Structure formats: structure tokens, C-alpha cells
Chains A and B, each alone.
Chain A
């Protein structure tokens, strides 16, 4: 694999698909060639007072056209700047970064929560086994129709406006879903719930974590997660989410 250099890419589309949720396609052949589901890219703000790159998970990869899709939420001033950009504008990006999901299993549960949903789309595309897709939202839904081509979709909303009222685990229990592999990405409380569910049902689970990052390449040690065993690189019970992750087996990490 070649090194994920910082590169100029070109925005080909950037549209709001739900309130404060944007879908951006980047013409980025070098990134799309190497990218795997579950990896992320670092995007750089033009306003240099915002120093640090923003890590955004890859939602879709189109290797034929040399493009990648990012679906992101306006979470602060950096992502607000991205949301204001138009097609044909340049975007500085570095990637793909991180390890990505390992494709495995015969019957899978794909669980996405909030802005953890986008990376599950490319995973759903590339995973060839039977798929059940559980998407958890606070209220407003997005991307759910695009998942329908790849498996049965179950929805949970906190306010009960769509699907099961509650969280993704409530939906899984309500629908009595079973699987031999779980893939999950979402906020830490959700991942904690997924880990507990996977442990209880003895299902192998891959969890994609997030944390505030600086370098994105494993040097600054800003984005660590606690691990069960001593990690060979850090020599303490910490792994780097950007470099060793963001995807970990549930039993490896303490959430």
C-alpha cells in the first residue's frame, strides 16, 4: 500500500441530504484506489486558523470513476466550512487512513448510529454474506433508502418517529435479529451497548471508534482507546484509534 499523502482533490458534488448532514463526492483517484470500507480521510480547512485536519469516514468508494463519497454532519466551524463548498472547488485531503473493516462472516448485523451510519454503506456493498442493517437515529433519518439494495433495513429513532422507538439494541431485540458477525460504528455509548450485546450472545463484533485526533497517522497519541492487553507499539494498554483502528474487535478494547 502506498503512503497516504496529503493531496489536492476536487469536489464533484456537495449537497445537504438531511438537516446539517451533507453528502460530498470527491474526485480522488489515489484515495479511491486504495480505500477499504471503514477507513477515513483527513480533510483540511482553508481557514488556517483551524489547524487540524477533520477525520471523516468514507461512505462510498467508486474505483472506476476514481471517486469517494463522504457523508458528514456539521459538528463545528470546520465542517461548516466544508458544507459551504461547491462542486469544482478543491479540497485538500489525506487518506485513506486507518485499518478498515475485515470482511468476514455468513450472517452479518451492520449497526450504524447517527453519523456512524455512513461508513456502513460501503461495507454493506462489499460484504457478500447475508446482511441485516440496523440504523439508529435521534429523529431525522438519512441514507436509509440507499441501504435497502444490500439487505433488510431496520430503523430505530429516539423519538419513535420511525421504526423502533429507542436505540439500535432495542430494534435488534424487538426484531429478534441474530448473526455470526457484528459490524458497528456510532457514538461510544452505542458501541458499549453493542459490545455488551455481542458478548451476551457470543457474537464476534468489529467496532469502529472515534476520538479527537490531531495527526491522523499514529504519531501524536491523541486518539487512544483503552485495551484489554498491553499493546506492542505503545507498551501500555492503549491503542491508537487513527493508526491501529478505527476498527477493533470488541474484546480488544475497553469502552
Chain B
């Protein structure tokens, strides 16, 4: 049985990674899951300097999902290089580093700092709904998507994955813009912008007012967008959005994703990633599937 997949020339032992921001740099979950069992670890977003993130409350539960407005808190690229890359390199897994910035220059700086580092791919977050500048501002206009993709592609030594926002009218248009800019792969979806109001306090639940909706509630939207993006471009896609089980993951794969990422489910079940890996193998065994690649995009 072959579970390995190849994206942009990088081969992953299986198609399962983590969704950025839900897994730190793997340290906390390393106590629960053998990280070497994962196809890749995708890290929390890394910026050029440390970012303190948003005020609290940063978290609100919603029906079948949750809102977060962490605000991309992270220790900055220097600490990341000195502490987190060596930690992740102890494991037999690929490392995908999520990159964030407020301006094109900031994204470029991080990509350049990572150029000589031992990481496998870069995932460019142009879709975070929780920071005022940067983030999603780059991801909602196809011209901006094209420009930042081509700027980063000039500087990156690793293949780049553009992480797309679902908060757009036409995901296919954004996917094509990233492809035209030279992206090596796409990942989607980031969170959907949402809001929750506490009617007893007559106030917003989140200090940031809005937050990103994730969890099982968003899965059908995510599957649909992965399908549309897969039909719009030739690039390989990492699909995510509400994946909590192998069954969920297989929907994304059949919709056209070459890899899948487990996100919010990690918060509810620290071993969710491993269960998805094992569940995909069990499904392949059950249906006599020799190669996972035969399932990618099999539902037309």
C-alpha cells in the first residue's frame, strides 16, 4: 500500500499534516503523537519580529465550531530558527513553515531568512482574518495574490504554498492568480470571518470583535472550495477546514486535495492527526486501494 504523495518535488510519507496555528511548532503535541508518523508538521505563522497577538478573549465556541482571534502571536523568525527548527528536525517528518507579514517586505524578510534553513516548504499566509494589515488584505484581491506570490517566489529557496482565504467570491480566481505568480502549491481554506455576541453582557465575545471560524461547521464549505480550486488550476492542493477524522480527510482528497491538514480537531483530541493517518490506511485496506494517489480528485 502506498500512502506517500509528492508535491512540488517533495515526497511526504503520507498525506497528513497539521493546520498552521493549531499545532504550535509541534512541541506540545509531541507528547501525545509521534511526530514521525505525520507526513509533515506545518508550523504556526512566523513573522520577521516577535508579534504579541490580540487582546483576550481570543477564543469563542460556536455551534460545531470555534472562533479564534489569536492575532498571529509568535516569537519571531530568530527564535523559530534557533529553537523550533532543530526540535522538528529530530523527527522523521517534513517541515512546512507558515510565513506571515504585514507588508510585502516583511514576508520577503522571513522568506529570505528561511532560505538557508533546513525546512521543506514554505506556506504563505495571505488569509489571516485577525490582523489589521497584511494577512487577508493580500488574499482578497487577485492582483495582490499574483504580486506577492511572484515577489516571494523570486526569493524563496523552498517551494511555496499560497494559503488562500475562503472569504472571497471566486476561489478559482485567487487560485489562478497564485498559479500565475509562480506558486508551487495551494492550501485552503483558512478560517471564515465570523462574530459572536454575548446577549447577556450585550458585548462581543472576542476582544477583536471578529474571529476566524473553524471546526466541523466549516467543512462542507472547505470541501466545495478545494473542489473548485482543484478544477481551476493544475497546482497540488493541501485541503483543510474541519477535518477531524479519516472520513473527513478522504472527502478532501476525493475533491482534489493531494494532502490534508488537521486543525481545530487537535484542540479537542490531541491524537487526531495520528487517527487520521491510521484511518486513511484502514480505508485503503478496506477498499483494496493500492495507492493513495488513485483517490486524489477521483470524484469529478
Interface assignment of B50: CB less than 8 Å from any CB of chain A: yes
Interface assignment of B279: CB less than 8 Å from any CB of chain A: no
CA distance A215 to B272 in the complex (A): 12
CA distance A219 to B33 in the complex (A): 14
Q: Which residues of B contact A6 (CB under 8 A)?
A: 269-271
CA distance A2 to B150 in the complex (A): 48
Q: Are A51 and B65 in contact (CB under 8 A)?
A: yes
- The distance from the CB of A203 to the nearest CB of chain B, in whole angstroms, is 27
Q: Are B66 and A214 in contact (CB under 8 A)?
A: yes
Interface assignment of A103: CB less than 8 Å from any CB of chain B: no
Q: Are B64 and A220 in contact (CB under 8 A)?
A: no
The DSSP consensus for interface residues of chain A is loop
What is the interface residue range for chain B against chain A?
35 or more
CA distance A64 to B22 in the complex (A): 37
CA distance A235 to B73 in the complex (A): 10
Which of A118-126, A134-142, A236-244 makes up part of the contact surface?
Answer: A236-244
- A168-212: which residues lie under 8 A (CB-CB) from chain B? 211-212
The DSSP consensus for interface residues of chain B is loop
Q: Are B24 and A219 in contact (CB under 8 A)?
A: yes
Interface assignment of B52: CB less than 8 Å from any CB of chain A: yes
Q: Are A220 and B56 in contact (CB under 8 A)?
A: no
Q: Are A243 and B66 in contact (CB under 8 A)?
A: no
- The distance from the CB of A143 to the nearest CB of chain B, in whole angstroms, is 25
Q: Are B22 and A236 in contact (CB under 8 A)?
A: no
Q: Are A238 and B22 in contact (CB under 8 A)?
A: no
Interface assignment of A127: CB less than 8 Å from any CB of chain B: no
Q: Are B66 and A215 in contact (CB under 8 A)?
A: no
Q: Which residues of A contact B283 (CB under 8 A)?
A: none
With A211-B56, A221-B53, A238-B53 as contacts: A52 and B76 at CB distance below 8 Å = no
What is the interface residue range for chain A against chain B?
20 to 34
Question: 1/0 contact trace for B125-156 toward A, CB 8 Å?
Answer: 00000000000000000000000000000000
Q: Are A215 and B50 in contact (CB under 8 A)?
A: no
With A51-B216, A51-B264 as contacts: A212 and B50 at CB distance below 8 Å = no
Q: Are A219 and B29 in contact (CB under 8 A)?
A: yes
Nearest A residue (CB) for B25: A219
CA distance A215 to B79 in the complex (A): 23
With A49-B63, A220-B70 as contacts: A243 and B28 at CB distance below 8 Å = yes
With A3-B31, A51-B65, A236-B75 as contacts: A217 and B52 at CB distance below 8 Å = no
A-B contact pairs, 14 of them (CB 8 A): A51-B215, A51-B216, A51-B264, A51-B267, A211-B57, A212-B57, A217-B270, A220-B59, A220-B70, A221-B53, A221-B73, A222-B56, A223-B56, A224-B73
Q: Name B residues whose Cβ lies closer than 8 Å to a Cβ of A.
A: 21-24, 28-29, 31-32, 44, 50-53, 56-61, 63-66, 68, 70, 73, 75-76, 79, 215-216, 264, 266-271
Q: List 15 extra interface pairs beyond A214-B267, A236-B75, CB under 8 A.
A: A49-B63, A49-B64, A50-B61, A51-B64, A213-B59, A214-B264, A217-B29, A222-B58, A222-B70, A223-B56, A234-B73, A236-B50, A236-B51, A236-B73, A238-B53
Q: Which 8 A-B pairs have the closest CB atoms?
A: A235-B75, A222-B59, A219-B28, A215-B267, A236-B52, A219-B24, A214-B267, A212-B59
